[in-house]
Structure 1
Amino acid sequence: MFIGIRPPAHVREALIDTMEALEGARWQDDEQLHLTMRFAGEVERETANDLAAALASIALPPFELELEGVSQFERKGMPTAIWARVRPAPELERLRAKTERACALAGLGGETRRFTPHITIARLNNHTGPIVDWLTHNSGLRANWQVDGFSLFESHLLASGAQYEVAVHYPLQGTESRTNS
């Protein structure tokens, strides 16, 4: 399971428009495009229910996010993924912190990885061609959207790749809650 934000159609279309001219890349499909705020991992049903309930107590107003360019993740000097950079925003950080507290309330351990807001576009391997030209060509990627909710997703690993299913969607509305701030 993971907690994430699914961008609207116009943002996903902008991301899909970048998915070309890179031999050997395993492009994400439309259903896989999301911003992960917190990975929860494999959890028992009771923990998943506790997490869903804790997330339901989060109250924040909708806010704006912006894509600004592309980048890569590397492991041992080899690129492993290309992604669209999501401009850091105080509202996103507040939502991420609240989801982290919800995970703690559900009994999940604390996140140890640094949060880098992004949307993965493709997975790469040692058969992927050079990515410099692709990164340069898509460096001007820009798209804005209003975040009006977030979701708890279930991930199903299939032979064709990961399939994501929204378990619970949480709309953002109103003002910040003082009980879960």
Structure 2
Amino acid sequence: MKAITPFPRPENSSQSYKQCGAFSMRVKFGTGINACEKGLGTKCNHAMLRPRSRQGADQPMRLFTALDIAPPQKKVLASMRGSLPGAIWLPPESYHVTLRFLGEIESRHTAEEIDFALSRITAVPFALQLNGTGLTTTGRGRKLWIGVERSDELLRLQARIESALRRIGLVPDKRRFQPHVVIAHLPDDTLVERWMQIHNLGRYDPMPIDRFALFESHRGPDAPHYENCAEYLLDPKAVSLVHPA
């Protein structure tokens, strides 16, 4: 097995996390938002992380990386709501394609290392194609989803994220990557086969992908709420064209 070289860790994270500025990214951990807006035009798509509040400082963060779904595709997926009796439909703002589930992150330092590692990933922007339907059964019930074609660009991006997280010591994810967008939860007695047959034939407009995001999952009474903590451009060179130095 090929050895993986760890990422160099910043000697002083309080300084190193202020050197970026080519792109204004949203970052929210705890109570505040802090954006990197220095406009330095450097090859960087890294965001600064603000300390959590004292109340939330010791609380673990349930993190995952994902692709957000563009508004036009969200609108199409949302139009399916109500088309299957018994289904518990997720709100459109929760639609996403999970790239890597990180699990419970216990420390602020680990969160900063994750952010730093993800900021170094580059890839060619590509088009995401939704296609087909599927059903996954877990310990919490059944999930109805719309599938995503496994393009070479998507697989390369997911592999680079996996490699970057392994380099900083996260446990490898050995599950097969199956990209999809969960749109509903189903009770066990919901008859879904006919619905899936009809929507398997659906085709969707390609969705341009130029970034991925780090999300935090917050448990809710009915469904989790997903908070976009940071976004990472795939091609930092494109940043200087939008925000020239």
Q: TM-score, normalized by length of structure 1?
A: 0.89
Moved over 6 A (4+): none
Matched, 1:70 2:133: yes
Flag structure 2 segments of 5+ consecutive residues without an equivalent.
1-62, 238-245
Secondary structure of the corresponding residue to residue 135 of structure 2: strand
Gaps of 5+ in 1: 176-181
Task: Please tell me whether residue 46 in structure 1 is matched to residue 109 in structure 2.
Answer: yes
Match of 2:196 among 117, 135, 138: 135
In the TM superposition, what is the alpha-carbon distance from 1:74 to its structure 2 partner?
3.2
Contact 1:70 1:141 in 2 (8 A): no
Residue among 11, 14, 18 paired with 2:73? 11
Which structure: larger Rg? 2
Task: Pick one of 225, 229, 234 that aligns with 1:167.
Answer: 229
Letter in structure 1 aligned against 2:162: E
CA-to-aligned-CA distance 1:106-150 (integer Å, 9 cap, x gap): 3210002111011111112224x2001211221122221110100
**C-alpha separation between the residues in 2 aligned to 1:49 and 1:20?**
41
Letter in 2 for 1:110: P
Are 1:51 and 1:105, in contact at CA under 8 Å, matched by a contact in 2? no
Is residue 2:179 matched to residue 1:91?
no
Output the aligned Cα RMSD.
Answer: 1.7
Sequence identity percentage? 33
1:75–1:164 Cα change, 3 Å:
closer
Q: 1:148 aligns with which of 210, 218, 222?
A: 210
Residue 178 of structure 1 corresponds to which residue in structure 2? none
One of 4, 15, 23 as aligned partner of 2:85:
23
The TM-score normalised by the length of structure 2 is 0.66
| Bigger share in strand | 1
**Could you tell me how far 1:37 is from its partner in structure 2?**
0.5
- Partners of 1:18 and 1:145 in 2: CA distance: 18
CA distance in 2, matches of 1:6, 1:34: 5
